[in-house]
Amino acid sequence: MKKILLITGVLVMTLLTSCTNDLDTDPKVELSLEEILANDPNAVEGIVSRLYASFALSGPDGPGSSDISDNAGESPFLRGIINLQDFTADGMKNRWGDDGLDQLTTTSNWDANNKFFRYLYNRAYYTIPQCNNLISILSTNDIPDADEALSEARFLRSLAYFYLIDTFGKGVIVTEENLNQTEPLPESTRRELFEFVEAELLEIQPTMSTDNGYGRANRYVAAMLLAKLYMNAEVYIGENKYSEALTYLNIVIDEGGYQLANNFLENFSADNDTSSEIIFPLIADAVVSQSYGNTTYIVNGNLSSDTMTLSDYGAAEGWQGHRATEAWYGLFGDLGTSNDARAALFWTSGHNYVMTDYKEWTDGYPSIKFRNTEYNSTSTSTTAFSSTDFPLYRLADANLMYAECALRGAAGADMNKALTLVNNVRTRSSAAPISMNELTLDFIIDERGRELNLEGHRRTDLIRFGRFTGSSYLWPWKGNVQNGASIPVHYNLFPIPEQALSANPNLQQNPGY
């Protein structure tokens, strides 16, 4: 299924195009769907598949190709999520010293010319018009069985907008109604983007299929995105919507049929498409979806051929780039005596516990959480690219979100259920269960770090808990200081890229930049 999904998507890539130069939001359809369907009755499914692939791949012709004018290796959507969500936070750092990436890993000297901000912004505004193209065609043509494809396209558009809401806090709302519009669109506030995504998801979620197959959005995936939106509503729009988040978490947890994998590593191995826990993956395949931007970036980036046996992790290359900091592995206490299986997923040999120099490979512990070997097979093969899917949403996250909502007073929350859900996550990794007295918000943010770091959630979590900016919580190299320093509150949002401001005079820079 993984290979069919990706091959089909890549084959139809050229059927949807968008003018993305200078963030021009004037998408163009080069072939009508009627023309496409005359040649291939299954083309709709293929085009939808390509929309999914835009979150993991750089382009249609291998890892060196790019849908947009940005660097093919550096700019894929998932790579941007890791760079902006994990390297800007406490648990992971990058040592390469690239201009732009260096500023992310030290949370310092952010400005509108940083190419890594531009990459994510461009990817979002590439994906959104592609979705709009298909939405327009499916909405105005009588095509059999098109309703589900239409809902999936609207979900993927909402997902792209969610990252704009979270990272930049503003943008423009581009829909199928703007397909022929040439003048610059007006700026949309964070609330306007929030309300647009909320309305879209509320409309499609109840009608979506309960099972579209692996790697596709369904009713529960849409519910999870709604829960994410509502969990962060206090940050996004200044309104408490934890009760609404709980409503959709109940749908995911109680109705979705997902179960925690028996072993934590089942979720991060090359055969994780068999995991019962993953709600929504971004698919990777070492043969048919080669990209420097999917989990290849995570697996290879944490490895070194100098000190590790790469084949133990199914990798042919080690890039010596990423290491965890004590802000992550310190959450487990003494790694040598911890019973928590997650505490063993750091490479400590030859490495220093304290990250005295973030550019020094041996300072800090590489994370070996993600690997390119199969969990359910003893046979080993090494490939330059990863076949491990990225678990964008999984049940453990939903469990911890439920407990957080309960602690924040969500209507209808069951504290006994919250405690059970948290302890299910912990005991799966042989960590000791906690008591009701220990279930606090401070515990939840730490448990989210132990369970979910390097999965693209950490910056958002720290902001929601009021721990990202300021000096109340310091971590290694925050503010470009070894032991951490205060960073300004405007860093809770990234600057709007200079390229976007130049292309659309209606856009205004975020305060502080």
pLDDT tens-digit series, residues 116-147: 999 999 999 999 999 999 999 888 877 777 89
Burial of 9 (0-12, 13-18, 19+ CB in 10 A): buried
Better-predicted residue by pLDDT, 39 or 58: 58
Identify the three-state secondary structure at position 463.
helix
User: Mean pLDDT over all residues of the chain?
Assistant: 92
Q: What angle do CA 66, 324, 469 make, to 5 degrees?
A: 85
Q: CB under 8 Å, gap of 24 or more: what pairs does 180-184 form? A: 180/26, 181/25, 181/26, 182/26, 184/503, 184/504, 184/505, 184/506
- The domain limits of the chain are 2-213+495-503
Q: At what angle do helices 2-11 and 43-53 cross, to 10 degrees?
A: 100
CA contacts within 13 A on the Cβ side of 76: 30
pTM confidence score: 0.94
Residue 317 has pLDDT above 70, yes or no: yes
User: Tell me, what amino acid is at 350?
Assistant: G
Query: Running DSSP on this structure, what letter comes out for residue 506?
Result: T
Residue 12 has pLDDT above 50, yes or no: no
User: CA-CA-CA-CA torsion for 369, 375, 381, 386, nearest 10 degrees?
Assistant: -50
Q: Which two tokens stand for residue 246?
A: 């709980």
Q: Which residues contact 460 (CB under 8 A, 6 or more apart)?
A: 85, 166, 232
Residue 18 has pLDDT above 50, yes or no: no
- Name the least confident of 142-151, 216-225, 388-397, 424-433: 142-151
Conformational region of residue 480, where left means phi above 0, alpha means psi within -120 to 50, and beta covers everything else: left
Alpha-carbon distance of 372 to 298, in angstroms, equals 10
The model's confidence at residue 24, banded by pLDDT at 50, 70 and 90, is: very low
Q: Which CATH class is domain 2-213+495-503?
A: mainly alpha
Note whether 300 and 389 are within 8 A (CB): no
- Taking the CB of residue 354, how many other CB atoms lie within 10 A of it? 12
Alpha-carbon distance of 286 to 101, in angstroms, equals 26
Alpha-carbon distance of 137 to 150, in angstroms, equals 9
Residue 73 has pLDDT above 70, yes or no: yes
Alpha-carbon distance of 450 to 411, in angstroms, equals 27
Residue 32 has pLDDT above 80, yes or no: no
- Read off the pLDDT of residues 340-385 as tens digits, 9 standing for 90 and up: 999 999 999 999 999 999 999 999 999 999 999 999 998 778 999 9
Give the residue-averaged pLDDT of 32-42.
Answer: 66
- Read off the pLDDT of residues 257-282 as tens digits, 9 standing for 90 and up: 999 999 999 999 999 999 999 999 99
Alpha-carbon distance of 23 to 392, in angstroms, equals 26
Residue 89 has pLDDT above 60, yes or no: yes
Cα–Cα distances in Å, from 230 out to 223, 225, 249, 280, 512? 10, 9, 10, 18, 26
Chain Cα centroid distance, residue 30:
30
Residues forming a β-bridge with 188: 171
Alpha-carbon distance of 35 to 40, in angstroms, equals 9
Residue 220 has pLDDT above 60, yes or no: yes
Helices then strands (H, E): number in the chain?
A: 18, 4
pLDDT at residue 357, as a whole number:
98
How does 234-263 read in b/e, with b if 16+ C-beta sit within 10 Å? ebbbeeebbebbbbbbbbbbeebebebbee
Instruction: Please give the full DSSP string across 261-288, using - where no structure is assigned.
Output: -SSGGGGGSTTGGG-SSEEEEEP-BTTT
